[in-house]
Amino acid sequence: MEEKQFAGILNGAVPGEPVKKDENSRRGNWGNQIEFVLTSVGYAVGLGNVWRFPYLCYRNGGGAFMLPYFIMLVFCGIPLFFLELSFGQFASLGCLGVWKISPMFKGVGYGMMVVSTYIGIYYNVVICIAFYYFFLSMTNLLPWTYCNNPWNTPDCSGVVSSYQLNASLANATSSLVAGVSEVVNRTKRTSPSEEYWKHYVLNISDDIGNFGEVRLPILGCLAVSWAVVFLCLIRGVKSSGKVVYFTATFPYVVLTILFIRGITLDGAINGIKYYLTPQWQKVLDAKVWGDAASQIFYSLGCAWGGLITMASYNKFHNNCFRDSIIISITNCATSVYAGFVIFSILGFMAHHLNVPVSEVADHGPGLAFVAYPEALTLLPISPLWSLLFFFMLILLGLGTQFCLLETLVTAIVDEIGTDWIIKNKTVVTLSVAIAGFLLGVPLTTQAGIYWLLLMDNYAASFSLVIISCIMCICIMYIYGHRNYFKDVEMMLGFPPPLFFKVCWRFISPVIISFILIFTVIQYKPITYNDYVYPGWSLAIGFAMALSSVVCIPIYALYKISKSPGATFRERLKAACRAHPKWGPALQEHRTGRYAPMASEDTVEARPLKERDELKEEQKEKEKEKEEGKEKERKDEISLTIQGSNGSTNTHNNPNPSA
């Protein structure tokens, strides 16, 4: 068989390993561990690192926010990251297949798929808007620089006056000062970048129910975005693993270029001071700790299913403990670094407008498509900086989108598991990409931004926290922490450090519960600028959030009803018990309690040594003894050894049962 052909291949990602063939020839592996690390970095480091973390930092006490942020990273972020990586790597299965560990909880895997579907739909729409701005930046003059366009309103007031174009440097300086004073004196100012965003790019409608027309330029960019994602995943991790050498590293080049340019501008230091100046009294505020925990949890991509999926393509003995620390710290360091890039430019803009930094600071789409682009118009050669900025956003988004699509494709392929679907995985990838494109079309209408923000706020909010909490409970308490610690030791060659054992069992679940409670207490109905969402749209938002969580009890009840047993308790036990095929995917790794039983022709895992299963094993052995004795009687062989339970005459019985 194929697996036997590679039985002699060295296991794991050993440094200097000469063998390049896949350890798992049926499923495939990463070309090398650098590809896995870069893919995981690209997955974890996304748009939120640029447009959410800096805003949270300045809002929650500047440098003081770093304290709870890194505490949450150590006690919740890294342990959960390591748990998911080890979970997927041990079984070499996606977010559905891994639940052989406790079949009753397979609904958690379906919940992860639902969440990844929602995020994948709207995330690619954000990427397509970045594509749109990128294409529009290929010009001598950025179209959101001035207020003399057909889409502008009388309230529009730019930071650069239109008559500056041909003025001398002295005149330009004086007119800029005049323009700034005009802006300050206005009671209401609408920037040209904001009007460009609302009235030209989105042509936004007045209500979430008023879809209007499809914005064809955005629809075209959405098609481009999905085409890029599909082509990069056309050969699964084999192709995406090569693409991430660029998509995961080049954003750091762009960030560095923008950082160097930013800190050389007037007022940049004020922006950075505003970003980092600690307000230590805020450390005592529970909301600051809640924001820190939530940002760590959502930023690392826990409970999306992506970490399990990416780790499932690792070699069995890869050191995922080392990888989890490297990737988690890189993710958080990127967030802090991005804050310098954002606030140096915003500080420059505030200096020119002669207003506090807080008045120009924003987050989310408002930062990416309004505040930052407006600041870029003040720079010489502004189209160049705009091209770099939006290209960085595209790459950051694509890194996450690759893993979201691969999560769904891997789950489908692993679940069906036939030779045909494994060979034709590209067809599945194309089908999922087309479905994602079609489902994203409503988000390209004039009401699209309302729906995008609704999905962003509800589809992946408290549902992720619940999924992650149940996953911890299942692995640590249903499957058993001792069993899992032995599995990790078998895979890595050393047991999980004591700190991680304590975090997995106690600290991380408590922090996750805290995030859930904090999310519920801090809940406020979503708004977009001055627009208040109607009740029916909020109901749809909650339905999206619950649609992933409800998979868990529904599948659990289904599994219990299908499990053997005379009573509900027996069925429940059977549904929770690990599947016989749970364990390492390859026969060569199934050692110890996963070793194949001698009496079986097929490779199945030896049941876990728990009380119930030990009793079942003893019963099976007794049956084997009786069968052996019956065969001996038929062959008329009398045994003289007292207590013998198998055939000693192997010449007459070439296939002994024990």
Amino acid at 608: L
Assigned token pair, 186 = 């206005």
Q: Is residue 380 part of a domain?
A: yes
DSSP SS3 for 527: strand
Q: Is residue 389 part of a domain?
A: yes
Per-residue model confidence as pLDDT tens digits over 267-289: 999 999 989 899 999 999 888 99
Q: Is residue 74 part of a domain?
A: yes
Q: Is residue 656 part of a domain?
A: no
Whole-number pLDDT of residue 643: 39
Whole-number pLDDT of residue 493: 96
State the angle between helix axes of 216-232 and 425-440 in degrees (0 to 180), rounded to the nearest 10. 160
- Under 8 Å between Cβ of 473 and 465: no
- Residue appearing with tokens 């995961």: 248
Which residues make Cβ contacts (< 8 Å) with residue 320, sequence separation at least 6? 82, 85, 86, 89, 311, 314, 492
Residues contributing to the annotated binding site for Na(+): 42, 44-45, 49, 299, 331, 396
Assigned token pair, 105 = 């909880």
Assigned token pair, 516 = 């859930």
* H or E stretch covering 506: none
- Under 8 Å between Cβ of 230 and 120: no
Whole-number pLDDT of residue 628: 54
Assigned token pair, 457 = 């706020």
* H or E stretch covering 532: strand 531-532
Global pTM?
0.84
Q: Is residue 645 part of a domain?
A: no
* H or E stretch covering 46: none
Assigned token pair, 86 = 């080890």
Which residues make Cβ contacts (< 8 Å) with residue 200, sequence separation at least 6? 143, 149, 151
Report the C-alpha dihedral over residues 138, 158, 197, 59, rounded to 10 degrees.
110
424-441 burial, b for 16+ CB within 10 Å, e for fewer?
Answer: ebeebbeebbeebbeebb
- Residue appearing with tokens 């109905």: 525
- Under 8 Å between Cβ of 21 and 6: yes
Report the C-alpha gap between 65 and 71 in whole angstroms.
Answer: 10
Q: Is residue 655 part of a domain?
A: no
Residue 89 gets which letter from DSSP?
Answer: H
Report the C-alpha gap between 558 and 333 in whole angstroms.
Answer: 44
626-658 burial, b for 16+ CB within 10 Å, e for fewer?
Answer: eebeebbeeeeeeeeeeeeebbeeeeebeeeee
Report the C-alpha gap between 170 and 177 in whole angstroms.
Answer: 11
Report the C-alpha gap between 401 and 407 in whole angstroms.
Answer: 10
Residues contributing to the annotated binding site: 42, 44-45, 49, 299, 331, 396
- ∠ at Cα 638 (637, 639), nearest 5°? 115
Report the C-alpha gap between 16 and 4 in whole angstroms.
Answer: 23
Which residues make Cβ contacts (< 8 Å) with residue 629, sequence separation at least 6? none
Residue numbers in the chain where pLDDT is lower than 50: 1-19, 162-187, 598-612, 614, 632, 634-658
Assigned token pair, 640 = 């003289």
Report the C-alpha gap between 52 and 54 in whole angstroms.
Answer: 6
Measured in whole angstroms, the distance separating CA 323 from the mean position of its chain's CA atoms is: 16
577-612 burial, b for 16+ CB within 10 Å, e for fewer?
Answer: bbeeebbbbbeebbeebbeeeeeeeeebbbbbeeee
Q: Which domain holds residue 259?
A: 38-149+190-562
- Under 8 Å between Cβ of 112 and 95: yes
Report the C-alpha gap between 262 and 341 in whole angstroms.
Answer: 7
- Under 8 Å between Cβ of 445 and 201: no
Give one DSSP letter per residue of 200-230, joined into a string: III---SSTT----B-HHHHHHHHHHHHHHH
- Under 8 Å between Cβ of 576 and 106: no
Q: How far is CA 349 from CA 186, 211, 227, 377, 535, in A?
A: 17, 35, 36, 10, 38
Which residues make Cβ contacts (< 8 Å) with residue 489, sequence separation at least 6? 495, 496
Whole-number pLDDT of residue 455: 95
Report the C-alpha dihedral over residues 230, 31, 404, 228, rounded to 10 degrees.
-20
Q: Is residue 652 part of a domain?
A: no
Report the C-alpha gap between 194 and 368 in whole angstroms.
Answer: 11
- ∠ at Cα 400 (472, 291), nearest 5°? 55
Report the C-alpha gap between 317 and 464 in whole angstroms.
Answer: 29
DSSP SS3 for 445: strand
Measured distance between the N- and C-terminal CA atoms of the chain, rounded to whole angstroms: 25
Which residues make Cβ contacts (< 8 Å) with residue 437, sequence separation at least 6? 124, 222, 223, 226
Q: Is residue 423 part of a domain?
A: yes
* H or E stretch covering 598: none
- ∠ at Cα 205 (536, 463), nearest 5°? 40
CATH number for position 241:
1.20.1740
What is the total residue count of the chain? 658
- How many structural domains comprise the chain? 1
